[in-house]
Every structure is written in structure tokens, then in C-alpha cells.
């Protein structure tokens, strides 16, 4: 059998030499390139099995090398390397056709693992008559934060499925970030210019679910004083996210199955079906296969939803992401709370890492917010985190209302005077942003609700 031929592209000469020697030792045939132009020249002349490409090349970006390489060598497996580990780079690389993504610094054994995995796949493809199974694909508060292997796999999954219109089923414990993944799939899809509509199936009263999803005609039931479109119509051309899908009753499950199969809906009170163009992403914290066995969930609907399944790991299984998450939440809330907090201490991070997080990332965010509310220093200490743990109900989300109540209590303890003025200074931007979210970023409506002018609202939102 011929030695696997590997192209290594990086402007760090020492790194390419080290990788090259390791590849030779493992029985591979490495070719080294220290510029993008050199890499493309090799790709034009030589057939490679695997190519490791650094994103940040000085002359031609790694993404450009990847794109050109895919054109020249469609059977080569491209693996992107970078010292900058973030969701955007990962998803973009997978969408452009990269097979995998590794972050510097990496263990050389990771290279061996990647190549062996690829060669097993190549061997399997040959045995099944060259059957192709390659990945093909051409900031916000909603960032998915992390650099663990589990999260990098989630990033790659998003890159794979975003260009498709197939249904996605996201499973995982409460608080693991299922809605964030759904939003990311929509954000990186061709539907990004259209609506992303979330429906919490568990939060709608049973008798209103059908009307909420599919709309209703005027006079179709008591209280239906006008014709109202449903969530599917609101999501036309975009994505609908059905959270807590296991809570739908069996009759509604049948109607949802029809939407998936026929791409039509039938509003309550109408006999004529309407066409809809909507991508469906569903999520649940339950095991749907078990629900199927218990006959509380339709097997045919499960199969239809489970086209692209992904399971989100609990936070206790990816604790290496806690420092990044803590830093993210400090940045997220620092301005909103007019806080001077700049960082979190190692002792505080150690304390966070020692906890089991039954409420997952949502509970971590709540804990960080509560700690920031109590902190009066420029750093979060272990004592701040400890105090936050002492008063937090495990797994319970710490809401904005909780933060307001606690701020009032603290101000009463401090001096008990000018509470409204002090509270307003501390929370006015957070309040304005919260109302903006509730009004769909409608500044006029937000200003009206807050009882201020639009100019005043803009000044509040523009404050650092």
C-alpha cells in the first residue's frame, strides 16, 4: 500500500519541520509549504491524501488555499489549523469543505488520529465502490462559547447542516444551549435574511397550541374575533424552532408530521391547506426513543425530525470551557450593570470548576450575574462566587427580576436613600435593552413603554 501523502502548510517553519518528522516516523510522506503560493503550487502538481492548512498565512489566507485546494484536489481531505479558536472560523471552514479543524497548540498524536481516521474512511469508501461521503458546502449575544472537543464537534455539525433544509433534532439537558445552536444553524444558512421564530411547546395552553402554530380564521372558535396567522406563517422563508417538542399532544404531532411531509398547514377554521416554506428545528430534554416506546410520541414523526440529530453535552462534561464562559458573561453584563469588573480570579475559576452544574450553562450564567451584582471590586473573587452559590437554588435561572430585587436590597442596606436614582443609574441600559428585546427592537414602542423620548433612549443605549 502506498504511503499516505500529506501536505503541511504553515508559515512557522519549525512547526512544519516538527510535523513533517512526526509524519515520516508514522509512515506518511509529508510535503512542507511555508507560503500559500507554495502550497497551491504543490496542489497543482501533486495528488495528496490529507492537507493540514493554517488559516493565518501571510500571503494567501488558509480559507483561500482551502477553496483552491478543493477545486484542484476534490479527493483530498483538508484539515484547518489555527491558534484562534472560535465558532465563526470553525463553521466557515466546514462550510467551505474542510473535513476537520484543530486548534493550536495541539498534540502531535492528534495529527496521527486525524490521518488514521481519514485513511480508514478512504479504505471504507474503496470497499463500497467509491461511495462519496465528503462534507460539501459552500456578533451577537447568541455566541456559542467554548473550545473543548465536544463544542468543536458542535461547531462542525452546524457547518454541515446549515446549508441544508432538512429537519434538525437537538437533544440535551435543560440549560445546555439548544436554542443557541438552533439560532446558529439559521444564522449560517441561506435563510438568514428571514425570520427565526421560537415556539416553546410546553408554555402554550393545550387548547391554543394548534391556533398558535397554524393560525385561525375569524369566528372559528369562541374568542376568535379576527383572523390571526400562526407561527409557521410568521416564519415563512425562514426557520421555526420548536422547543420542548416532546410536550406536543399526539393529535398535534400528526398535524406537524403533515407539515413536514407535505409542506402545508391548515389554519383552524379553514378547510383549504396553505403552502409554507419553513425549515423546522426541534429540541427536547427528553429521550424521544423512550417516549416512542411509551407511545407518547409518534414514531413516524420521530423519524422525520431525526434527519440531523445532535446531542449537546452537559457543562460538567466540558469543564475546560468554564473559564471562557465566565469571561464571556463578564463582558456581556459589565456594561449593562455599569460594573467595573475586569476579570475573574484563578481561585474563583477553580471554585466554578469544582461544581457539578445541574442547570448547565444557564445556571453558570445566573451564578455569574448574581456574583457581579454583589461584587464591588474590579475582579470576581472566590468569595463572590461562594456567596452566589449560597443564595442560588441549584439549576434555577437567576432572572433579571431577581437582579433588580437584590439591587434594591443592597441599596437599602448601604444607605437607604435615593434608591430610585441609584437603581436607575445601575440598570437603565439593562432595562432599555430588555424592553427593546420584547418589542422586537422597535425604538418608538420601547420609548413609549419606558415613558422617555427616542433621543433619550438612544443616549441610554449608546452609553458605555
Tens digit of each residue's pLDDT, the chain (464 residues):
578 899 999 999 999 999 999 999 988 899 999 999 999 999 999 999 899 999 888 889 889 999 999 999 988 999 988 776 566 777 777 778 888 888 787 888 888 888 887 876 665 444 433 322 222 222 445 678 888 889 888 988 888 888 888 899 999 999 999 999 999 899 888 888 899 999 998 888 777 888 888 887 776 666 666 777 889 999 999 999 999 999 998 989 999 999 998 889 888 777 788 889 999 999 999 999 999 999 999 999 999 999 999 999 999 999 999 999 999 899 888 877 878 888 999 999 999 999 989 899 999 999 999 899 888 888 999 999 988 875 554 445 555 566 666 666 666 655 555 666 666 666 777 778 778 777 767 788 788 788 888 878 887 877 65
290 and 413 share one domain:
no
The pLDDT of residue 142 is 65
Instruction: Identify whether the C-beta of residue 193 lies closer than 8 Å to the C-beta of residue 220.
Output: no
Where is the domain boundary, 311, 328, 357?
Answer: 311
282 and 173 share one domain:
yes
What distance separates the 2 farthest-apart alpha carbons in the chain?
82
What is the distance between the alpha carbons of residues 91 and 68, in angstroms, rounded to a whole number? 18
**132 lies in a domain?**
no
**425 lies in a domain?**
yes
Alpha-carbon 228 to chain mean position: 31
Pick from 393, 391, 371, 394: nearest CA to 381: 371
Measure CA of the first residue to CA of the last residue in the chain; give whole Å. Answer: 63
208 and 282 share one domain:
yes
The pLDDT of residue 209 is 82
304 and 328 share one domain:
no
**322 lies in a domain?**
yes
Burial class (CB in 10 A: 0-12, 13-18, 19+), 321: buried
Instruction: Identify whether the C-beta of residue 9 lies closer than 8 Å to the C-beta of residue 51.
Output: yes
Residue-number span of the structural domain to which 54 is assigned = 5-127
286 and 376 share one domain:
no
The pLDDT of residue 140 is 40
The pLDDT of residue 236 is 92
Q: How many domains does the chain have?
A: 3
**377 lies in a domain?**
yes
What is the distance between the alpha carbons of residues 315 and 151, in angstroms, rounded to a whole number? 11
Burial state string for 89-128 with b = 16 or more CB within 10 A and e = fewer than 16: bbbbbbbbbbbbbbbeeeeeeebeebbeebbeeeeeeeee
What is the distance between the alpha carbons of residues 308 and 424, in angstroms, rounded to a whole number? 46
The pLDDT of residue 296 is 94
The pLDDT of residue 402 is 60
Is the four-CA dihedral 341, 373, 346, 320 of positive or negative sign?
negative
117 and 155 share one domain:
no
**177 lies in a domain?**
yes
Instruction: Identify whether the C-beta of residue 188 lies closer than 8 Å to the C-beta of residue 375.
Output: no
26 and 61 share one domain:
yes
For residue 105, is the peptide bond before it cis, meaning its omega torsion is within 30 degrees of 0? yes
298 and 340 share one domain:
no
* Cell output for 367: 451564578
Burial state string for 10-47 with b = 16 or more CB within 10 A and e = fewer than 16: beeeebbeebbebbeebebebbbbbbbebbbebbeeee
Alpha-helical runs (H) found in 201-345: 209-214, 231-234, 250-262, 288-293, 299-305, 322-334
The pLDDT of residue 463 is 66
Where is the domain boundary, 127, 162, 194?
Answer: 127
* Cβ-based neighbour number of residue 388 at 10 Å: 24
pTM for this model (two decimals): 0.61
Q: CB-hemisphere CA count at 13 Å for 141?
A: 10
Integer angstrom CA distances of residue 388 from 119, 279, 316, 326: 50, 40, 19, 14
The pLDDT of residue 344 is 92
Alpha-helical runs (H) found in 188-236: 209-214, 231-234
The pLDDT of residue 416 is 55
Pick from 92, 103, 6: nearest CA to 50: 6
Alpha-carbon 17 to chain mean position: 36
88 and 166 share one domain:
no
CATH number assigned to the domain comprising residue 260: 3.40.50.300
The pLDDT of residue 37 is 93
170 and 204 share one domain:
yes
The pLDDT of residue 441 is 74
* Cell output for 459: 443616549
329 and 306 share one domain:
no
CATH number assigned to the domain comprising residue 36: 3.40.50.2300
**144 lies in a domain?**
no
Question: Which residues are CB-contacts of 462 (< 8 A; sequence separation ≥ 6)?
Answer: none
189 and 306 share one domain:
yes
Where is the domain boundary, 255, 290, 311?
Answer: 311
Amino acid at each position: 500500500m502506498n504511503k499516505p501523502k500529506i501536505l503541511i502548510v504553515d508559515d512557522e517553519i519549525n512547526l512544519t519541520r516538527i510535523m513533517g518528522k512526526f509524519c515520516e516516523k508514522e509512515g506518511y510522506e509529508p510535503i512542507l509549504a511555508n507560503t500559500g503560493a507554495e502550497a497551491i503550487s504543490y496542489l497543482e502538481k501533486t495528488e495528496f491524501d490529507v492537507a493540514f492548512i493554517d488559516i493565518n498565512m501571510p500571503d494567501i489566507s488558509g480559507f483561500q488555499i482551502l477553496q483552491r485546494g478543493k477545486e484542484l484536489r476534490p479527493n483530498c481531505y483538508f484539515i484547518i489549523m489555527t491558534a484562534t479558536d472560535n465558532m465563526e472560523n470553525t463553521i466557515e471552514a466546514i462550510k467551505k469543505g474542510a473535513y476537520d479543524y484543530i486548534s493550536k497548540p495541539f498534540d502531535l498524536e492528534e495529527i496521527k488520529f486525524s490521518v488514521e481516521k481519514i485513511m480508514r474512511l478512504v479504505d471504507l469508501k474503496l470497499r463500497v465502490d467509491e461511495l462519496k461521503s465528503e462534507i460539501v458546502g459552500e456578533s451577537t449575544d447568541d455566541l456559542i462559547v467554548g473550545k473543548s472537543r465536544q463544542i468543536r464537534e458542535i461547531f462542525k455539525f452546524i457547518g454541515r447542516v446549515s446549508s441544508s433544509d432538512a429537519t434538525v433534532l437537538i437533544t440535551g439537558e435543560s440549560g445546555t444551549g439548544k436554542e443557541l445552536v438552533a439560532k446558529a444553524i439559521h444564522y449560517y444558512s441561506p435563510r438568514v435574511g428571514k425570520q427565526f421564530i421560537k415556539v416553546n411547546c410546553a408554555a402554550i395552553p393545550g387548547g391554543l397550541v394548534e391556533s398558535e402554530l397554524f393560525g385561525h380564521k375569524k369566528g372559528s372558535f369562541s374568542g376568535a374575533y379576527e383572523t390571526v396567522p400562526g407561527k409557521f406563517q410568521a416564519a415563512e422563508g425562514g426557520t421555526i424552532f420548536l422547543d420542548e417538542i416532546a410536550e406536543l399532544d399526539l393529535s398535534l404531532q400528526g398535524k406537524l408530521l403533515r407539515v413536514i411531509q407535505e409542506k402545508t398547514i391548515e389554519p383552524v377554521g379553514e378547510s383549504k391547506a396553505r403552502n409554507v416554506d419553513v425549515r423546522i428545528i426541534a429540541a427536547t430534554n427528553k429521550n424521544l426513543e423512550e417516549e416512542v416506546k411509551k407511545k407518547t410520541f409518534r414514531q413516524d414523526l420521530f423519524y422525520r425530525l431525526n434527519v440531523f440529530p445532535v446531542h449537546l453535552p452537559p457543562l460538567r462534561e466540558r469543564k475546560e470551557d468554564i473559564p471562557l464562559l465566565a469571561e464571556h458573561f463578564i463582558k456581556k453584563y459589565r456594561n449593562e450593570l455599569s460594573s467595573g469588573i475586569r476579570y475573574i480570579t484563578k481561585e474563583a475559576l477553580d471554585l466554578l470548576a469544582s461544581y457539578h452544574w445541574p442547570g448547565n450553562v444557564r445556571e453558570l450564567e445566573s451564578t455569574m450575574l448574581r456574583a457581579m451584582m454583589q461584587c464591588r471590586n474590579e475582579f470576581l473573587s472566590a468569595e463572590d462566587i461562594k456567596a452566589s452559590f449560597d443564595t442560588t437554588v441549584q439549576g434555577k435561572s437567576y432572572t433579571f427580576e431577581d437582579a433588580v430585587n437584590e439591587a434594591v436590597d443592597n441599596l437599602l442596606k448601604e444607605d437607604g436613600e435615593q434608591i430610585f436614582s441609584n437603581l436607575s443609574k445601575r440598570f437603565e441600559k439593562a432595562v432599555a435593552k430588555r424592553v427593546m428585546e420584547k418589542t422586537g427592537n422597535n425604538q418608538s414602542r420601547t420609548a413609549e413603554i419606558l415613558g422617555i423620548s427616542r433621543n433619550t433612549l438612544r443616549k441610554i443605549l449608546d452609553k458605555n
